[in-house]
C-alpha cells in the first residue's frame, strides 16, 4: 500500500516510529493532487509551504520534542475557513484573492498539533448548495464517477479524501454539507454538537446552524481530528464550556466492541421514506439487520414535525445568510466594482454585489430579506422558528426512548452533474435527512454502508445522538464500520476507482 492509501492513524504510527517522514507523507499527497486533481478539482488552492511545514515537523520530531499523535499528517481545509497566507474565498468571486489576516480557531489548533495543511478545498459559494456546482470556480467531480456530483457544499473536502488526495479534511455543516458529501463519496463525515467546535474564522452562512467538523476515510480519523479542533473558544460567543471526552478513545473502544447489546437504535419513520432510492433503502435496512444481529434493539420512532424541516430551514437559513452576507459591501472585503461613469456608495455596492454573488446566493439573499421584512417577519421567519422548536421537541421525545437515531444520510446516491442545477427545489429536498440535526443543534455522522446495487455508488447511514452525545457517534460508528469490513473483507473505499494514477489496494473478491 502506498502512503496515500493509509489513514491518518496509520500514517501517525509510521511517523512516530520514524519509518516515514512528514516530508515523504506530504510529498506523496502533493503528487497525488498533481496526478488526479485536474479531473477531480477538489482543491482551489494548494499550499506552497506544505513541504516546508512538513520539514519543520520532522525537525521537531528528530529533536525529540513530544508531539501530537497526528503531527506531520497532511490535511485539507474547506475554503470557508480563514487561513493566514492562503486565499480564503468561500467559493465566491466576492472573495477572490482575499488572504485573511488571521486563522480560524480550528486552523490554529491544527497548527498547534503540527498537522500539515495541504490546501483549500472547493465548495458551493458561501456553502449554499448540495452539489458543489454553485462554486464560482467550477464544480468538483465525484471520484467514483467523474460525471457525477460529489455532494455539497463541502464536495471538495469529501472528494479530496475519497480520491486519496488527503487522508483527512475539515468541512462545515449548516444543513448537511459534511454528512451528505461524505455519503455520496463513501467517506466518513461528522457534524459535531452545535457550539462544541469554534466557528471563529469560519466564514458565516447561517450562524445558528453552522458547525465545523471532520471528514475522513475512517471513524477513528474523524475522532482524532475532532479531538484536536473541539473544545471551548472564548472568541466564539456560542462556544460551549463543556469538558469533552476523548472521541478517539470512544472510536477505539467501539472498534473493539463484541456486541451492541443494550443499545437502543431508533429508526426515524419519516426519514425511512418509500420515496428514497431503492438501493439506498436496501443498504440502510441491511445495516439495521447487522446492528440487530449484534444485539442492538431497533425501535421505530416518529418525528411528525420533520415534514416541515426543509421548509423551515429554507426560511431560517436565507434570513440569517442575508444578514451575514451584508458585510460584503465593497468596502471591507474583497471585490469592488466601480460602475461606469462613477456613482454613489450605493451604486458601487450594488454593482459589486451584482457582479460578485452567483445566482444561488442572490436567490437566498432575496428570500431571506423578504422573510425578514416588517410585513412578513411573523408569518415566515416567526413561523419557521416555531417549527424549529417543534423539531427539537420531536428529537427530545425520540431520545427519551432510544440512545441514537439512524436514517439514510441522503435520499439518493450521487446524481449527474447538471441534473438538478436548474431546479433549486429538487436540490433542496435532497437535504431532508440532514437538516433536522442542524435545526436542533445535535451531532450527526455519516458512515459508508455499501454501494447501491443499481448504480454501484456509495450509500451512507446517518447516526444522530442527543446534543453533547458526540461520543456515541464514534462508539457506534466504529463498531458498525468494523462489522461491515468483516462482512465485506475490505473497506468500501478500497473499491473506489483508482483514476489511473497509482497502484491501488490488492484486488479483493466479492461485491460490497
Ligand atoms: N445543502 C444545504 C444548503 O444548501 C446545506 C448547506 C451547508 O450545510 N452548508 O443549504
Q: Domains plus CATH for the chain?
A: 3-306+388-508 (3.90.1300.10)
Q: How close is the Cα of 339 to the center of ligand 1, in Å?
A: 32
* Beta carbon of 171 within 6 Å of any ligand 1 atom: no
Counting Cβ atoms within 10 Å, is residue 478 exposed (0-12), middle (13-18) or buried (19+)? buried
Q: Is 177 a catalytic residue?
A: yes
Q: How close is the Cα of 16 to the center of ligand 1, in Å?
A: 38
Q: Which three cell numbers stand for residue 430?
A: 435532497
* Beta carbon of 431 within 6 Å of any ligand 1 atom: yes
Question: Of the residues 177, 198, 216, 239, which is catalytic?
Answer: 177
pLDDT in tens, 174-210: 999 999 999 999 999 999 999 999 999 999 999 999 9
pLDDT in tens, 414-428: 999 999 999 999 999
The answer to whether residues 280 and 408 touch, using CB atoms and an 8 Å cutoff, is yes
Ligand 1 nearest atom to the CA of residue 129, by list position: 4
d(CA 116, CA 167): 11
Find the DSSP H helices in 191-300: 219-229, 247-256, 278-293
Please list the ranges in the chain whose pLDDT falls under 70: 1, 500-512
The answer to whether residues 240 and 442 touch, using CB atoms and an 8 Å cutoff, is no
Ligand 1 nearest atom to the CA of residue 360, by list position: 4
Q: Is 153 a catalytic residue?
A: yes
- Using CA positions, which residue lies closest to atom 5 of ligand 1? 175
| Probe residue for ligand 1, chosen from 122, 126, 177 as the CB with the greatest number of ligand atoms within 8 Å | 177
| Probe residue for ligand 1, chosen from 80, 81, 90, 129 as the CB with the greatest number of ligand atoms within 8 Å | 129
39 phi and psi angles, rounded to 5 deg: -90, -40
Q: In a 3-state reduction of DSSP, which class is residue 276? A: coil
* Beta carbon of 317 within 6 Å of any ligand 1 atom: yes
Peptide bond into 412 cis (omega under 30): no
- Using CA positions, which residue lies closest to atom 4 of ligand 1? 129
Find the DSSP H helices in 135-276: 155-162, 179-185, 219-229, 247-256
Question: Of the residues 78, 120, 191, 420, which is catalytic?
Answer: 78
* Beta carbon of 402 within 6 Å of any ligand 1 atom: no
* Beta carbon of 157 within 6 Å of any ligand 1 atom: no
pLDDT in tens, 2-57: 999 999 999 999 999 999 999 999 999 999 999 999 999 999 999 999 999 999 99
Q: How close is the Cα of 177 to the center of ligand 1, in Å?
A: 5
CA dihedral for 394, 395, 398, 401, sign (positive or negative): negative
d(CA 124, CA 150): 11
Torsion angle of the four alpha carbons 10, 88, 323, 390, in this order, in degrees rounded to the nearest 10: -10
Question: What is the DSSP code (8-state) at residue 62?
Answer: H
Amino acid at each position: 500500500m502506498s502512503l496515500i492509501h493509509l489513514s491518518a492513524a496509520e500514517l501517525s504510527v509510521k511517523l512516530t516510529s520514524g519509518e516515514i517522514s512528514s516530508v515523504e507523507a506530504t510529498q506523496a499527497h502533493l503528487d497525488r493532487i498533481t496526478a488526479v486533481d485536474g479531473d477531480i478539482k477538489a482543491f482551489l488552492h494548494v499550499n506552497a509551504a506544505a513541504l516546508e511545514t512538513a520539514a519543520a515537523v520532522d525537525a521537531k520530531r528528530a529533536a525529540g520534542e513530544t508531539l501530537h499523535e497526528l503531527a506531520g499528517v497532511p490535511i485539507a481545509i474547506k475554503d470557508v475557513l480563514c487561513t493566514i497566507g492562503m486565499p480564503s474565498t468561500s467559493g465566491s468571486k466576492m472573495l477572490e484573492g482575499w488572504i485573511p489576516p488571521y486563522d480560524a480557531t480550528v486552523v490554529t489548533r491544527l497548527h498547534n498539533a503540527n498537522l500539515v495543511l495541504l490546501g483549500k478545498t472547493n465548495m458551493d459559494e458561501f456553502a449554499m448548495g448540495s452539489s458543489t456546482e454553485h462554486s464560482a470556480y467550477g464544480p468538483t467531480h465525484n471520484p467514483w464517477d467523474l460525471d457525477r456530483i460529489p455532494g455539497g457544499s463541502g464536495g471538495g473536502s469529501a472528494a479530496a479524501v475519497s480520491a486519496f488526495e488527503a487522508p483527512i479534511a475539515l468541512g462545515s455543516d449548516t444543513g448537511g454539507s459534511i454528512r451528505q458529501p461524505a455519503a455520496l463519496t463513501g467517506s466518513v463525515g461528522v457534524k459535531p454538537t452545535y457550539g462544541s467546535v469554534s466557528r471563529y474564522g469560519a466564514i458565516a452562512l447561517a450562524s445558528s446552524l453552522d458547525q465545523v467538523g471532520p471528514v475522513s476515510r475512517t471513524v477513528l480519523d474523524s475522532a482524532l481530528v475532532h479531538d484536536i479542533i473541539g473544545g471551548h473558544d472564548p472568541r466564539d460567543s456560542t462556544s460551549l464550556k463543556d469538558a469533552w471526552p476523548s472521541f478517539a478513545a470512544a472510536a477505539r473502544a467501539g472498534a473493539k466492541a463484541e456486541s451492541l447489546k443494550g443499545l437502543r437504535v431508533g429508526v426515524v419513520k419519516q426519514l425511512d421514506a418509500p420515496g428514497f432510492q431503492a438501493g439506498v433503502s436496501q443498504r440502510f435496512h441491511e445495516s439495521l439487520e447487522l446492528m440487530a444481529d449484534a444485539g442492538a434493539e431497533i425501535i421505530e420512532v416518529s418525528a411528525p414535525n420533520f415534514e416541515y424541516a426543509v421548509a423551515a430551514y429554507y426560511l431560517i437559513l436565507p434570513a440569517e445568510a442575508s444578514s451575514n452576507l451584508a458585510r460584503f459591501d465593497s468596502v471591507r472585503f474583497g471585490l469592488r466594482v466601480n460602475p461606469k461613469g462613477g456613482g454613489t456608495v450605493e451604486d458601487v455596492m450594488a454593482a459589486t454585489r451584482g457582479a460578485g454573488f452567483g445566482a444561488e446566493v442572490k436567490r437566498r439573499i432575496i428570500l431571506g430579506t423578504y422573510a425578514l421584512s416588517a410585513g412578513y417577519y411573523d408569518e415566515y421567519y416567526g413561523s419557521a422558528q416555531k417549527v424549529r422548536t417543534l423539531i427539537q421537541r420531536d428529537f427530545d421525545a425520540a431520545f427519551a426512548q432510544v440512545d441514537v437515531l439512524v436514517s439514510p444520510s441522503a435520499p439518493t446516491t450521487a446524481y449527474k452533474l447538471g441534473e438538478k442545477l436548474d431546479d433549486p427545489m429538487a436540490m433542496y429536498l435532497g437535504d431532508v435527512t440532514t437538516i433536522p440535526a442542524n435545526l436542533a443543534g445535535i451531532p450527526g455522522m455519516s458512515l459508508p454502508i455499501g454501494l447501491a446495487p443499481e448504480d454501484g455508488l456509495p450509500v451512507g447511514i446517518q447516526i444522530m445522538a442527543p446534543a453533547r452525545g458526540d461520543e456515541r457517534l464514534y462508539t457506534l460508528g466504529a463498531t458498525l464500520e468494523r462489522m461491515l469490513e468483516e462482512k465485506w473483507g475490505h473497506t468500501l473505499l478500497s473499491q473506489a476507482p483508482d483514476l489511473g494514477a497509482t497502484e491501488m489496494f490488492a484486488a479483493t473478491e466479492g461485491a460490497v
